[in-house]
Structure 1
Amino acid sequence: MLNGLDDIDWRSLEHNYGSAENIPGLLRTAARDEVAFDSNDGLYNQLHHQGGWVCSAATAALPFLLDLIESPIAADRTEHVELIARLACTAAEATPEWVDAGWPEAWATVFPRVRRLIDDPDENVRREVTSALGASRHQPAEAVAALRTRFGREPVAIVRADILKALEDLGDRDGIRVLGDHADPSVAIDAMLRAHALDGTTVDAAELGAVLTALRETTDWDVFRPVHGGDSKALTSTDYVAVVTMLAGHAEAERRLAAVRLATRVLAEGRDCEERLVPPIAALLDDPETRFHALQLLAALAAPYPDRFAAMLDDDTLHGRYVVATVGDAALWALVRTGDARCVPVLRELVADGDRHSRSYSPATHISWLPSIGEMLEQVGAEHVPTLLPAVRARLADGGRDARFDYLATLKSWGVLAAEAGPEVKALLETETGTVARQALDAIAPSEVSAPETADLTDEDPWTRTRAAVRLWRSTGESAEATRVLRGVVAEVLDDGRYGLTVGREALSRLAEMGAGEAAPEARRVLGEERRLSDGGGWRRFVDDDAWRRAAVRILEA
């Protein structure tokens, strides 16, 4: 095992954290059961981490990872197979410049060893190998043959589902169509959906009925993950509304929770199903098992149920594994999003003694966290700022680091409405929060803003151009040039997507603040977008999209 490990110049190779000279030690350690865990974790992080590229060290390590998997003494075989599968998938999905040049040849060399693992007695190994075979785009015929053969003798339903997905990834229409007549309804329906996906078609009414019946009655819940997870291309958004409605009324709590997750996934992609999906989710507010999660989605949507939200403000039922929050916390956020004044006294108390100041970011679609207190404050109406500002000023003066960062960002969002907080903000300019304090001061006291460097207005970076245009307008009152620059940023973001949507939203918001009616073409374009205009995940996806559209409306009303 690990023969030839020292024949490789590992120092000349690289992984996610630099030189690969430590990889031999990690591989040797991984072969010893008693100390394997940290080594395996290190191999995964350094050779793959979050994916996106296949490094040269991964290519060199590939045969040795197979040695570990085939060894009778090495621990955590499944983790090594998972690493190989993730690397194979990355190699199949990434553009060539992000895949080490030696990877295709290395994969072809070990492919027979990988293929043999499809018959491993460990079902978790078989699941990961199935994914790896599905990514074997340079050996499609051999991979398809191995997968088809295994399917005929695979006893585990979820592994059969994985094989079907791998066959779809490899474009095996014939193999999938044959399975559409399988005696097991779960297999037949899964095959039918994947055949539609390969053909670019969607289910008809009878097929949708079969899907709903199977999903309602199945005991193999994970087999239907492409449906209740929102990944099946064979279903339209209207089909997914039917799935959500059925799941929301299911007797099992797990499936009712799946209804919320699926509705979140569908609504995160676009707005066309919102009116039809809100009612079944709102009905789950009466369900103790789903109330918290339903509140999170309804809050993100600013759904119009303020009385129901207000009635739950005192509910201290706890939810959350990592960041614990109560039903009342989620209800407060929902009330804030509706613009209801009953949120203001509760927010004022939270500012005074609350400690939720972490601003979490994730690209994940599901809503797994609540906003910080400062982020909630950013969503209140302008009419409530005078009531809340004194409490914010007090926390800036005597609060901790996290609270100050949180509330300085709030003041930046409030802008000139928070001008009275100038003294507290200026006091923080020379502290560790100084950069954010300067940004907040520029927003709340525009008369004190200095003019930008002329070159910044034509800088390649859209953030630099946006900030320079705003500084130009605030320092001189010159709006024509600032408007031209900001309109260019918005158009650039919407046209090619090379830059994040966040900078485009900032540019459009400043155009709205300026009353720049000249930006009406961009505003109309924004309002015509069917997608959610956000790079963020969770609740940000919805709030960011709302901000784009509010700014567009203000511009058209200017």
Structure 2
Amino acid sequence: MFRGIDDVDWASMEHAYGSAADVPELLRGLASSLPQERETALDGMYGAVHHQGDVYDSTLASIPFLFRLAGHAGLPDRGGIVELLASIGGSDDADDLENGAGGAGVGEGTEDPGDDKHAMARAAVRAGGALFLDLVRDGDPEVRRAAPSALVRFHGEPPLVLALLSERLRDEPEDGVRLALVEGLGLLVRLHGGSAALAVDCLVSLCGPPHDPGLRLAAIGQLASCATDRLPADLVSTVVTLLHTRSQRIRPSSEPVRTSSDTLIGSLRRMRAADEEGARLLRTLHQALGARTADRIALLKGQLSSQNTADRCNAVWMAAGLFREWRTANEEPVALIGEQLGSDEERLRCAAVSVLEFLFTLAAPAADRLAALVESGPEFRERGTATLDRPLKALARCGDARAVPALAEVLRRPAVPNETGYTIGHLGPAAAPLASLLRQRLAEVPLGSPDTYDRAVPLLFGLGALRYAEAVPEVLRLLHGTPPELRLRDALVNALARTLGAFGPGAREAVPTLRNLLTDRNAVAAADALRSVEGDTEAVLPVLLGALAPEWDAGSRRTAADALGRMGAAATPALPGLRRLAESAEVWERTAAACALWDVGGDPEPVLPVFRDAWRLNPYTRGMITACLVRMGGAGVPFHDLVRTELDSPRRHRARSGGHGSHDVLDDELLLRDCRAILEAT
């Protein structure tokens, strides 16, 4: 397998972390007799030699040895090596590229068509593509499972591939491999138009009796991605019936027990669903249905009504994907997800809580169930104090006052989870009873500890959200006592100043301290706070005008623009500087400056073109823009075409391939709220 490996000048090559001198050891590790060593080696190949889908000279040099390993009968875990080879070869599948897969396997890289190394890797894997013909018949089920996709992608004779996939579907005994063969047929349709008709006919033939429910579900999922006109007319009821029938027949997996080393691959394996095959079947269908959200909601309701716990758990995670990407009527599925909180199955409860946690106010249909879980006692509550109990966090995030007593209990614990203050901010006035407890905990924050910033800032956020000016002495204690060498001192001082600004006139005791900061590197935050507390524009304006200058960092310039906007007409001398900033090369600076231009000057002419450009370039700016348009009223009418288009769009504005943010749904809902307010006001 490794003949000639020492003749390669690996030390002259590179991977993601520098010299590739360690690659021979990784390749030999793939053939180790120890499962953990094999997994660690595969993790190293993905992490360094094929980091996030990249191809290096060491990646290219590895390909011949990977092919020898993949073709070595009897070597364990060759399925993972086949997947690695396919990932190195890249993807021709337009669906995969759109979804950010790019053939990157564990990583999420995408192929650059102009990158010679990617092209060379594709050519090298294609050159060895004949091996995949043999691997489809290999004695190892994991190898047979990995082979169909690689065969379709890299073998140059689609008719031969179609014939082999069809033959193997007749003879293959393993359900998981049969699923992979069906996926191969769907991929063949998407990649090779000349063979599409026969492959589609084959998929259609697999959708009905006498085939088993799992195979029929797999075929329906592939048709949904490549031939929607051939789907069953009663799609949802057919799929739900097949799902329930499959669940009643399901038998324990015959897969060998996988290793659980401390690697990324090991972690991903441990996170797999209880019924990974079922999850894969329905995930494929949901992804293929895409914007057909009514069908997906109906399908989720059927999944969540299953007697099988694994089916319901899979449905919860698929609902997460739907809610993150699409604006859809979600009250019924959210309520059904809430019902899973009463399950005795920990995996299902945890899945439900995780989804409800990122829905914020959209989790309201499940609030009663969340409240019951929060009040149920320790057996259904997370232990320890490192993090906030997730059911409690979800309940508070949806603005339910029933979270207040439990949060008070948290604030009385010896150690307060850092996210507590942020969570309290979502409760609005209902959290007022917690203000004095937040103040007490802020008074306990040490002045020079390595964790001073981490402990203080969430508490400051909560106090600022509640406008609790009684905490001014505790805020000043930190401002006066924080040593200059403290980690993140400037960020802490900025947070302290913002909190005083949130207190408004009730923080007049802090005016001398804020004035002293006007000549400090935290001058911008101090000036904004002083404006809010005292309204002294004469002292504040020169500081903020100076912060618009190029020598200040971009963050300070944006903060200064925001603060000048809050001053309104009193900041008229800032208009020339704001106009310059509105021409910045950085989209966030331009947008912040344009908002301030309106708030200070009231002229929409220089503002709306900046907004239109930023709206197109960076969807993340849209929340800032719509908040300003609400203030603009009728002056923003020329922008209403984009506002209406946003409201008509079924897709969330932050939906993207390859990832998501914890607040994406919340920010999208706030955007929609502002869009409606803009149109209703004119």
Q: Given the superposition, is the C-alpha separation of residues 355 and 104 from structure 1 closer, same or farther in structure 2, using an over 3 Å criterion?
A: same
Question: 2:67 aligns to what?
Answer: 66
Question: 2:2 aligns to what?
Answer: 2
* Cα distance between partner residues in 2 of 1:150 and 1:462: 54
* Cα distance between partner residues in 2 of 1:436 and 1:545: 28
Question: 1:534 aligns to what?
Answer: 654
Q: Given the superposition, is the C-alpha separation of residues 392 and 85 from structure 1 closer, same or farther in structure 2, using an over 3 Å criterion?
A: farther
After superposition, give the CA deviation of every residue in 1:456-512 in whole Å (9 maximum; x if it has no partner): 543333344456668x68xx9736589966x6676445424xx4x444435555x37
SS in 2 for 1:251: coil
SS in 2 for 1:97: coil
* Cα distance between partner residues in 2 of 1:31 and 1:293: 36
Q: Are residues 1:452 and 2:548 paired?
A: yes
One-letter identity of the residue aligned with 2:548: P
**Which range is displaced more, 242-251 or 452-461?**
452-461
Q: Are residues 1:33 and 2:60 paired?
A: no
After superposition, give the CA deviation of every residue in 1:326-357 in whole Å (9 maximum; x if it has no partner): 9xx34423432342333234324424537575
* Cα distance between partner residues in 1 of 2:459 and 2:644: 28
TM-score, with normalisation over the residues of structure 2? 0.66
Question: 1:116 aligns to what?
Answer: 134
Question: 1:405 aligns to what?
Answer: 454
Q: State how 1:236-251 maps to structure 2 within 5 Å.
A: 236-251=292-307
The offset of 1:545, in angstroms, is 1.9
Of all paired residues, the percent bearing the same amino acid is 26
Question: 2:242 aligns to what?
Answer: 214
Q: Are residues 1:96 and 2:102 paired?
A: no
The answer to whether the Cα contact below 8 Å between 2:132 and 2:148 also exists between their aligned partners in 1 is no
Question: 1:478 aligns to what?
Answer: 600
Question: 1:150 aligns to what?
Answer: 168
Question: 1:339 aligns to what?
Answer: 399
After superposition, give the CA deviation of every residue in 1:76-124 in whole Å (9 maximum; x if it has no partner): 4333223223323457633413562311321122212233222211111
Question: 1:378 aligns to what?
Answer: 425
The offset of 1:162, in angstroms, is 0.9
* Cα distance between partner residues in 2 of 1:78 and 1:467: 51
Question: 1:547 aligns to what?
Answer: 670
One-letter identity of the residue aligned with 1:377: I
* Cα distance between partner residues in 2 of 1:296 and 1:83: 31
Q: Given the superposition, is the C-alpha separation of residues 378 and 460 from structure 1 closer, same or farther in structure 2, using an over 3 Å criterion?
A: farther
Select which of 489, 501, 505 maps to 1:434. 489
Select which of 612, 616, 620 maps to 1:495. 616
The offset of 1:161, in angstroms, is 1.1
Q: Given the superposition, is the C-alpha separation of residues 136 and 65 from structure 1 closer, same or farther in structure 2, using an over 3 Å criterion?
A: same
* Cα distance between partner residues in 2 of 1:44 and 1:348: 46
* Cα distance between partner residues in 1 of 2:438 and 2:652: 31
Question: 2:18 aligns to what?
Answer: 18
The answer to whether the Cα contact below 8 Å between 1:469 and 1:483 also exists between their aligned partners in 2 is no
Q: Given the superposition, is the C-alpha separation of residues 72 and 331 from structure 1 closer, same or farther in structure 2, using an over 3 Å criterion?
A: closer
SS in 2 for 1:458: coil
Question: 1:365 aligns to what?
Answer: none
Q: Given the superposition, is the C-alpha separation of residues 356 and 287 from structure 1 closer, same or farther in structure 2, using an over 3 Å criterion?
A: same
Question: 2:515 aligns to what?
Answer: none
The offset of 1:58, in angstroms, is 1.9
Q: State how 1:56-455 maps to structure 2 within 5 Å.
A: 56-71=57-72, 76-90=77-91, 93=102, 94-97=111-114, 100-136=118-154, 140-171=158-189, 172-182=196-206, 183-186=210-213, 187-201=215-229, 203-218=231-246, 219-220=249-250, 224-226=278-280, 228-229=282-283, 231-234=286-289, 236-289=292-345, 290-291=348-349, 293-298=351-356, 300=359, 301-304=362-365, 306-315=367-376, 316-318=378-380, 329-353=389-413, 357=417, 372-381=419-428, 383-384=429-430, 387-399=433-445, 404-405=453-454, 408=457, 411=460, 414=464, 417=467, 423=476, 426=479, 430=484, 431-437=486-492, 439-441=494-496, 443-444=498-499, 445=501, 446=528, 447=531, 450=544, 451-453=547-549, 454=577
The offset of 1:61, in angstroms, is 0.9
The answer to whether the Cα contact below 8 Å between 1:177 and 1:195 also exists between their aligned partners in 2 is no
Unaligned runs of 5+ in 1: 359-371
The answer to whether the Cα contact below 8 Å between 1:10 and 1:57 also exists between their aligned partners in 2 is yes
* Cα distance between partner residues in 2 of 1:545 and 1:437: 29
Select which of 586, 608, 617 maps to 1:461. 586
Structure of larger gyration radius: 2
Q: Given the superposition, is the C-alpha separation of residues 9 and 242 from structure 1 closer, same or farther in structure 2, using an over 3 Å criterion?
A: same
Q: Given the superposition, is the C-alpha separation of residues 159 and 36 from structure 1 closer, same or farther in structure 2, using an over 3 Å criterion?
A: closer
One-letter identity of the residue aligned with 1:17: Y
Question: 2:559 aligns to what?
Answer: none
Unaligned runs of 5+ in 2: 94-101, 103-110, 190-195, 251-274, 502-527, 532-539, 550-576
* Cα distance between partner residues in 2 of 1:2 and 1:130: 26
The answer to whether the Cα contact below 8 Å between 2:583 and 2:590 also exists between their aligned partners in 1 is yes
* Cα distance between partner residues in 2 of 1:208 and 1:137: 35
Q: Given the superposition, is the C-alpha separation of residues 39 and 267 from structure 1 closer, same or farther in structure 2, using an over 3 Å criterion?
A: closer
One-letter identity of the residue aligned with 2:41: S
The offset of 1:308, in angstroms, is 4.6
The answer to whether the Cα contact below 8 Å between 2:370 and 2:395 also exists between their aligned partners in 1 is yes
One-letter identity of the residue aligned with 2:379: T
SS in 2 for 1:515: helix
Q: Given the superposition, is the C-alpha separation of residues 265 and 129 from structure 1 closer, same or farther in structure 2, using an over 3 Å criterion?
A: same
* Cα distance between partner residues in 2 of 1:295 and 1:129: 37
One-letter identity of the residue aligned with 1:408: V
Question: 1:366 aligns to what?
Answer: none
After superposition, give the CA deviation of every residue in 1:361-408 in whole Å (9 maximum; x if it has no partner): xxxxxxxxxxx3243123221x25655445445544544756733752
The answer to whether the Cα contact below 8 Å between 1:140 and 1:170 also exists between their aligned partners in 2 is yes
Note the aligned Cα RMSD (angstroms). Answer: 4.1
Q: How many residues of Structure 1 are paired with residues of Structure 2 in the alignment?
A: 532
The answer to whether the Cα contact below 8 Å between 1:463 and 1:503 also exists between their aligned partners in 2 is yes
SS in 2 for 1:460: coil
